[in-house]
A and B are shown apart, each in its own frame.
Chain A
Amino acid sequence: NFMLTQPHSVSESPGKTVTISCTRSSGSIASNYVQWYQQRPGSAPTTVIYEDNQRPSGVPDRFSGSIDSSSNSASLTISGLKTEDEADYYCQSYDSSAWVFGGGTKLTVL
């Protein structure tokens, strides 16, 4: 099975833009959809991006997802940062009956 590697933490100021990466260890990032989940302290995860770049209804368009085959990675970009975006973010993908999560990235908005 493959692994998904994320930075442990990122921080940025309100109103700025931040990008969180998710690198796949083996196999092509483009061969399976990538999802991104937001988890606030004490709460269950919720989807912010599914199928690489799709936003569920209710998720603001400040959240966007992309994949880059050259670096074999996916990215979650959050623009116009708000203090409420402070949370843990997890990428996730699936391949042949194995569901894999990245280790999570703690986003601090300061």
Chain B
Amino acid sequence: EVQLVESGGGLVQPGGSLRLSCAASGFTFSSYEMNWVRQAPGKGLEWVSYISSSGSTIYYADSVKGRFTISRDNAKNSLYLQMNSLRAEDTAVYYCVVGAARWWFDPWGQGTLVTVSS
């Protein structure tokens, strides 16, 4: 059974930093592209970042470019999101999501809540 367990969320002040982790199991992590997708409270879904299976190709949404860094450790079956210069509008549940195909997100983790507030 595929499991994706996010951690690292919490309350942080504007301008602060946070590092999210996603522990993957139940599939060959190193063979799959991975993504972070977020959802602000009461709002819709927003793709945040993509990383290829080897980590050699990375993309970011314009809203986080230059502030967030995605990475992965295939030896540890883990995905990360380093978030710097956080803003109130970054407040959201952050989901770790497998790229079942380049165009398709499946499955999803349960998410971790990041709250940016003073």
Q: Whole-angstrom distance between the alpha carbons of A90 and B110 in the complex?
A: 17
For B95, what are the chain A residues with a Cβ–Cβ distance below 8 Å? 44-45
Question: Which A residues lie within 8 Å of B73 (CB)?
Answer: none
Is there contact, CB below 8 Å, between A46 and B104?
no
Number of contact residues on B: which range applies? 20 to 34
Asked if B106 is at the interface of the complex by the 8 Å CB criterion, the answer is yes
Cβ of A2 within 8 Å of any chain B Cβ, yes or no, is no
Q: Are the CB atoms of B105 and A35 closer together than 8 Å?
A: yes
Are the CB atoms of A104 and B45 closer together than 8 Å?
yes
Chain A interface size, as a band, is: 20 to 34
A2 vs chain B, min Cβ distance (A): 13
B45 partner residues in chain A, CB cutoff 8 A: 37, 39, 45, 90, 92, 101, 104
Contact with B along A8-44 (1 / 0, CB 8 A): 0000000000000000000000001101010100011
Chain A residues with CB below 8 A from B111, complex form:
44
Chain B residue contacts of A46, Cβ below 8 A: 106-108
Whether A97 sits at the interface, judged by CB under 8 Å, is yes
B9-35 CB contacts (< 8 Å) to partner A: 35
Q: Is there a chain A Cβ closer than 8 Å to B89's Cβ?
A: no
Contacts of A33 in B (CB 8 A): 101, 103-104
Would you call A97 and B50 a contact (CB within 8 A)? yes
Interface, chain B (partner A; CB < 8 A) = 35, 44-47, 50, 59, 95, 100-111
A residues neighboring B (CB under 8 Å): 32-33, 35, 37, 39, 43-47, 50-51, 56, 90, 92-94, 97-104
Q: What 7 additional pairs, Cβ within 8 angstroms, besides A47-B105, A104-B45?
A: A44-B95, A46-B108, A94-B103, A98-B59, A99-B103, A100-B47, A104-B44
A–B Cβ pairs within 8 angstroms, 6 of them: A33-B103, A44-B110, A50-B101, A99-B35, A99-B105, A102-B44
Q: Ordered nearest first, which 10 A-B pairs have the shortest CB separation?
A: A94-B103, A99-B47, A44-B108, A104-B44, A101-B45, A97-B59, A47-B106, A33-B103, A103-B44, A50-B104
